[in-house]
């Protein structure tokens, strides 16, 4: 029996069918330019890490400046203690969410504590750690297993 090589077109078709049969891998993260989707992705990724590795490793990872990617970072708070338990800035770890207010007096920490678990976005003013300027920040937050996981993005104040 003689075996012939497939044409280039047939080879591509076979490879595409093989990939389709194997199923998709992890989907690519959304682009950072789609800030709401990217922030949600970061939160879901942090929750997946927590579910896989547990709280100690997850909190340690997100308490490290190495977890920061430019303006992007994850923060985690305890619903029970109402305090931040992971943040790249060690000065924020341990802070009471009930007194986390912006320059207008809005208690965004209180809004974090009101999260029910499905995910929501809280908007407030905050100093951007990269620019040193106060800007509007939007944080996507999710309550999961007693922890509030969040990530946000800044926009310029008009």
The model's confidence at residue 103, banded by pLDDT at 50, 70 and 90, is very high
* Burial group, residue 4, by CB count within 10 angstroms (0-12, 13-18, 19+): exposed
Cβ contacts of 130 within 8 Å, gap of 6 or more: 70, 71
Residue 4 has pLDDT above 90, yes or no: no
The least confident of 1-15, 65-79, 85-99 is 1-15
Q: Regarding predicted confidence, which is higher, 128 or 111? A: 111
Q: Name the more confident of 98 and 129.
A: 98
| Residue 25 clears pLDDT 60, i.e. is over it | no
Check whether 5 has a pLDDT greater than 60: no
The helix (run of H) or strand (run of E) holding residue 22 is helix 8-22
87-90: long-range pairs with CB below 8 Å, 24+: 87/62, 87/63, 88/62, 88/63, 88/64, 89/129, 90/63
pLDDT at 118: 84
- Which residue spans within the chain are E strands per DSSP? 74-78, 83-86, 120-127, 134-144, 147-155
For the chain, the average pLDDT equals 85
Instruction: Determine the pLDDT at residue 28.
Output: 87
Q: What percent of the chain has pLDDT over 90?
A: 72
- pLDDT tens for each residue of 26-84: 678 999 999 999 999 999 999 999 999 999 999 999 999 999 998 899 999 999 999 99
Give pLDDT, residue 26. 64
d(CA 135, CA 98): 21
What gap in Å lies between CA 35 and CA 110, rounded to an integer?
23
Tell if the pTM clears 0.75, that is, is over it.
yes
Residue 112 near residue 77, CB atoms below 8 Å: yes
CA–CA dist 90, 87 (Å, integer): 6
């Amino acid at each position: 029996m003689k075996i012939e090589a497939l044409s280039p077109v047939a080879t591509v078709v076979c490879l595409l069918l093989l990939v389709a049969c194997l199923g998709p891998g992890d989907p690519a993260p959304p682009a950072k330019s789609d800030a709401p989707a990217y922030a949600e992705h970061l939160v879901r990724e942090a929750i997946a890490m927590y579910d896989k590795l547990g709280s100690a490793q997850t909190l340690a990872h997100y308490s490290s400046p190495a977890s920061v990617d430019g303006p992007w970072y994850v923060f985690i708070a305890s619903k029970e203690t109402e305090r931040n338990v992971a943040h790249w800035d060690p000065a924020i770890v341990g802070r009471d969410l009930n007194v986390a207010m912006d320059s207008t007096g809005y208690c965004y920490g209180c809004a974090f504590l009101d999260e029910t678990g499905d995910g929501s976005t809280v908007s407030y003013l905050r100093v951007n750690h990269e620019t040193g300027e106060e800007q509007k920040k939007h944080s996507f937050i999710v309550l999961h297993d007693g922890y509030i996981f969040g990530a946000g993005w800044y926009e310029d104040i008009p």
